Chains A and B, each alone.
Chain A
């Protein structure tokens, strides 16, 4: 069993994962159609890929029963035949990892590419990795440890003014 994880603080913000995601799933290079989103804040040291952690909160709120867990990969996947684009899954997701395509009205959500994530293959810095559970847990802990990290306070505040 494997999990998709991010090695914290190493992303350079190149957005290649976004484009490979949208290209593999929708044959278009378009970050807004990607299931992974790189958050870059230009005036703060933040470059972070945000993606679905496959928690499954969205399974229960889907009125069309379109979301289910895949037994093989443990990925929470959307059945496009059933999806109505109501947006409940988008609302419930605590990570902002699900979006509804404004054109096709279907939910865009990470399906782990059936157990072989393309974003992992294309990441030039090997920041995204698809690891066995125990090794993955280490990086998950690191990610949460980052939340409790003490901020190095600069003498001038940022985000900066002008």
Chain B
């Protein structure tokens, strides 16, 4: 008799200081309350981490988590997520990646790995077949991501294993260092790589031969086949699957929402030279998918010759292209340079979004004369200079000269520079803004960037443009989604708060179940070809045997969403931190959306706070809301 369905039912606890490995049972009552992945992460961090912990001290906890859907037949199940306190924002951090590391972790027999303490010398974890070994990684320290992965795979002698590791950037504690798995898949944001390094942890390798069982195999398989068939008609298949996320470049440019030149404008005349179409024509070798994915957005690309010669690897995707290429206005030989830059970032273990943002920031600072050649080791920073871009990436990863300043992220760099540099430092809570713009795309992003617990992010908890930019309802109508959606530039008085709340909870659900967010978007007018809350509920119930309907699932999502918020409240964050950067309040300079700006950020936020039951003045969830969600103990602890 199998005790657990969907879940593996085990938590691996590793104390690196004591070199201790313990296996713990997962608590059954957590499953219905927190579902999994970042839900469990939130619960554990809330309960076990002391407030105001230094993110780079041994006291920070690093949770690698999977959800019940990870590693199953459910489309998009190749998820791995990490939760910790972010060195970039000093607040709640979660960062997710695809590939096959999450599924392999489950096949090794674990739902979560909780790493605490700090090893004396560099180590890596080899998790396999229900056990974990702490192995020496001194010879791996300083090695790039690809070499580390190669060497570990050779050392453990298990070709089917999957490795998540950090590169030299992580070791130098760059504030936006990524955790890379399967060579080129990045859990990039919020600086997980630095947390790995602060524990002297170079990598985690996982492999195993345990399976995942379903509680009701026949009904589950039926639901899976229904979902798979549905996904064949996925609304974005041509765009995201066919061209890759980089296919968005042309689409978003036409709509006037392609952030350009450090967000000064949202239109890039040379966009077609870096589009998905051009990539497919010139440099694409093949499409690639994560574990269990029906979409296949991965690009396996190279630059076979020329001065930006790059070996075959996965990339670049839309965010990389925009943040690295378009933000620095690359016009000539640009796609080659972007592919090369992506390869370097992957190998150093850098988040391409933050890297691109910080480089564009530095270039603008130089242009405005806020920094000079004295601060930049004699480099003349300018737009449209691919060589300079590659040099800066290397400097950031190694913290050399000006790289040392930029490696701190836009927020700290602007503080250090002073002289009004914060006017064009585009970040929220210390996390750099990615390549979606609330001014051109949808005002829902104004809410998302402001309230998202980890800072400005286009994907956590959901792509806010789905609702009114496309527009799609994602199967949220039964939950009260206002329909038809308002104009994408409408701000207050159009129920945007209510709509965004539902959108966020749906995304949060994906994050807790362990599926990719790309599966969430589809409209009733287009046959609802996505994983709606209803489909998720059917899949969850038949897989795990915990009977939950779509409304209960959404409630669990709200519980976790509020718990993450409360984690930040405990760290001292309030409404004053839910603030959009000044740049996004200034009008767009050129293109179809010229003149657009977020005019009433406070008004939009007010509506959202009201919809989610948070106090309008402080931004803290009210006691009534928390008690309604069964989080009375949290309210007590916060003394609300």
Task: Output the least CB separation between A146 and chain B (Å).
Answer: 13
Q: Are A12 and B296 in contact (CB-based, < 8 A)?
A: yes
Indicate whether B298 reaches chain A with its CB closer than 8 angstroms.
Answer: yes
Q: Which of B211, B287, B291, B309 interacts with A22 by CB under 8 Å?
A: B211
Output the nearest chain A residue to B347 by Cβ-Cβ distance. Answer: A162
Q: Are A155 and B312 in contact (CB-based, < 8 A)?
A: no
How many angstroms between the C-alpha atoms of A9 and B286 in the bound complex?
8
* Chain B 193-224 near chain A by CB (<8 Å), digits 1 or 0: 00000000000000001111110010001000
Q: Are B221 and A121 in contact (CB-based, < 8 A)?
A: no
Task: Output the least CB separation between B182 and chain A (Å).
Answer: 6
Q: Are A16 and B72 in contact (CB-based, < 8 A)?
A: no
* Chain B 284-326 near chain A by CB (<8 Å), digits 1 or 0: 0111111111111010101011000101110000000000000
How many angstroms between the C-alpha atoms of A154 and B303 in the bound complex?
9
Indicate whether B89 reaches chain A with its CB closer than 8 angstroms.
Answer: no
Q: Which residues on A sit within 8 Å (CB–CB) of B100?
A: 15
How many angstroms between the C-alpha atoms of A15 and B72 in the bound complex?
10
Task: Output the least CB separation between B348 and chain A (Å).
Answer: 12
Q: Are B288 and A13 in contact (CB-based, < 8 A)?
A: yes
Q: Are A23 and B144 in contact (CB-based, < 8 A)?
A: no
Q: Which residues on B sit within 8 Å (CB–CB) of A45?
A: 285-286, 300, 312
How many angstroms between the C-alpha atoms of A123 and B158 in the bound complex?
27
Indicate whether B614 reaches chain A with its CB closer than 8 angstroms.
Answer: no
Output the nearest chain B residue to A42 by Cβ-Cβ distance. Answer: B183
Indicate whether B534 reaches chain A with its CB closer than 8 angstroms.
Answer: no
Task: Output the least CB separation between B586 and chain A (Å).
Answer: 42
Task: Output the least CB separation between B143 and chain A (Å).
Answer: 7
Q: Which residues on B sit within 8 Å (CB–CB) of A47?
A: 286, 288
Indicate whether B19 reaches chain A with its CB closer than 8 angstroms.
Answer: no
Task: Output the least CB separation between B318 and chain A (Å).
Answer: 18
Q: Which of B213, B225, B296, B304 interacts with A155 by CB under 8 Å?
A: B304
Task: Output the least CB separation between A7 and chain B (Å).
Answer: 13
Q: Are A158 and B311 in contact (CB-based, < 8 A)?
A: yes
User: What count of chain B residues pass the 8 Å CB interface test?
Assistant: 51
Output the nearest chain B residue to A125 by Cβ-Cβ distance. Answer: B296
Q: Which residues on A sit within 8 Å (CB–CB) of B312?
A: 43-45, 154, 158, 160
Q: Are B211 and A28 in contact (CB-based, < 8 A)?
A: yes
Q: Which residues on B sit within 8 Å (CB–CB) of A43?
A: 146, 150, 183, 311-313
Task: Output the least CB separation between A30 and chain B (Å).
Answer: 3
Task: Output the least CB separation between B429 and chain A (Å).
Answer: 34
Q: Which residues on B sit within 8 Å (CB–CB) of A31?
A: 107
Which of A12, A24, A30, A162 gathers most chain B CB within 10 Å?
A: A12
* Chain B 86-113 near chain A by CB (<8 Å), digits 1 or 0: 0000000000000010010001000000
Contact of A19 with B107 at beta-carbon distance under 8 Å, contacts A45-B312, A158-B311, A160-B311 already known: no
Indicate whether A3 reaches chain B with its CB closer than 8 angstroms.
Answer: no
How many angstroms between the C-alpha atoms of A124 and B294 in the bound complex?
5
How many angstroms between the C-alpha atoms of A31 and B103 in the bound complex?
10
Output the nearest chain A residue to B290 by Cβ-Cβ distance. Answer: A14
How many angstroms between the C-alpha atoms of A44 and B221 in the bound complex?
33
How many angstroms between the C-alpha atoms of A26 and B72 in the bound complex?
14
Q: Are B292 and A19 in contact (CB-based, < 8 A)?
A: yes
Task: Output the least CB separation between A37 and chain B (Å).
Answer: 9
Indicate whether B147 reaches chain A with its CB closer than 8 angstroms.
Answer: yes
- List residues 108-134 of chain A with CB under 8 A from any CB of chain B: 121-122, 124-125
Q: Which residues on B sit within 8 Å (CB–CB) of A122?
A: 73, 225, 228
Q: Which of B228, B232, B291 interacts with A15 by CB under 8 Å?
A: B291
Indicate whether B345 reaches chain A with its CB closer than 8 angstroms.
Answer: no
Summarize A's interface: helix, strand, loop or mixed: loop
Indicate whether A33 reaches chain B with its CB closer than 8 angstroms.
Answer: yes
Total contacts A-B at CB 8 Å: 116
* Chain A 125-162 near chain B by CB (<8 Å), digits 1 or 0: 10000000000000000000000000010111011111
Q: Are A161 and B147 in contact (CB-based, < 8 A)?
A: yes
Indicate whether A92 reaches chain B with its CB closer than 8 angstroms.
Answer: no
Indicate whether A68 reaches chain B with its CB closer than 8 angstroms.
Answer: no
Q: Which residues on B sit within 8 Å (CB–CB) of A72?
A: none
Output the nearest chain A residue to B304 by Cβ-Cβ distance. Answer: A154
Q: Which residues on B sit within 8 Å (CB–CB) of A84?
A: none
Q: Which of B107, B232, B289, B313 interacts with A12 by CB under 8 Å?
A: B289
Interface size band for A: 35 or more
Contact of A27 with B285 at beta-carbon distance under 8 Å, contacts A15-B291, A43-B146, A121-B225 already known: no
How many angstroms between the C-alpha atoms of A160 and B147 in the bound complex?
9
Q: Which residues on A sit within 8 Å (CB–CB) of B212?
A: 28-30
Q: Which of A29, A125, A154, A155 interacts with B73 by CB under 8 Å?
A: A29
How many angstroms between the C-alpha atoms of A160 and B312 in the bound complex?
9
Q: Which residues on A sit within 8 Å (CB–CB) of B213?
A: 27-29
How many angstroms between the C-alpha atoms of A20 and B289 in the bound complex?
17
Which of A43, A152, A161 gathers most chain B CB within 10 Å?
A: A43
Q: Are B305 and A12 in contact (CB-based, < 8 A)?
A: no
Q: Are B209 and A102 in contact (CB-based, < 8 A)?
A: yes
How many angstroms between the C-alpha atoms of A156 and B309 in the bound complex?
8
Output the nearest chain B residue to A162 by Cβ-Cβ distance. Answer: B147
Task: Output the least CB separation between B392 and chain A (Å).
Answer: 21
Contact of A16 with B209 at beta-carbon distance under 8 Å, contacts A43-B183, A122-B228 already known: no
Contact of A29 with B72 at beta-carbon distance under 8 Å, contacts A22-B211, A45-B312, A121-B225 already known: yes
Q: Are B292 and A162 in contact (CB-based, < 8 A)?
A: no
Q: Are B293 and A14 in contact (CB-based, < 8 A)?
A: yes
Contact of A30 with B294 at beta-carbon distance under 8 Å, contacts A45-B285, A154-B304 already known: no
How many angstroms between the C-alpha atoms of A14 and B294 in the bound complex?
7
Output the nearest chain B residue to A161 by Cβ-Cβ distance. Answer: B147
Q: Which residues on A sit within 8 Å (CB–CB) of B296?
A: 12, 14, 124-125
Output the nearest chain A residue to B298 by Cβ-Cβ distance. Answer: A12
Indicate whether A54 reaches chain B with its CB closer than 8 angstroms.
Answer: no
Q: Which residues on A sit within 8 Å (CB–CB) of B305?
A: 155
Indicate whether B231 reaches chain A with its CB closer than 8 angstroms.
Answer: yes
Q: Which residues on B sit within 8 Å (CB–CB) of A13?
A: 288-289
How many angstroms between the C-alpha atoms of A154 and B312 in the bound complex?
9
Task: Output the least CB separation between A138 and chain B (Å).
Answer: 21
Q: Which residues on A sit within 8 Å (CB–CB) of B349?
A: none
Q: Which of A12, A124, A156 interacts with B311 by CB under 8 Å?
A: A156
On A, residues with C-beta under 8 Å from B are 9, 12-16, 19-20, 22-24, 26-33, 42-45, 47, 102, 121-122, 124-125, 152, 154-156, 158-162
Q: Which 7 A-B pairs have the closest CB atoms?
A: A30-B211, A28-B211, A162-B147, A124-B294, A12-B289, A14-B289, A12-B296
For the complex with contacts A30-B209, A158-B312, 9 further pairs of A-B residues with Cβ separation under 8 Å are A12-B287, A14-B293, A14-B296, A16-B292, A42-B182, A43-B183, A45-B300, A155-B305, A162-B150
What are 10 A-B residue pairs whose CB atoms fall within 8 Å in the complex? A12-B287, A12-B296, A14-B293, A20-B73, A22-B211, A33-B211, A43-B313, A45-B300, A124-B296, A154-B302
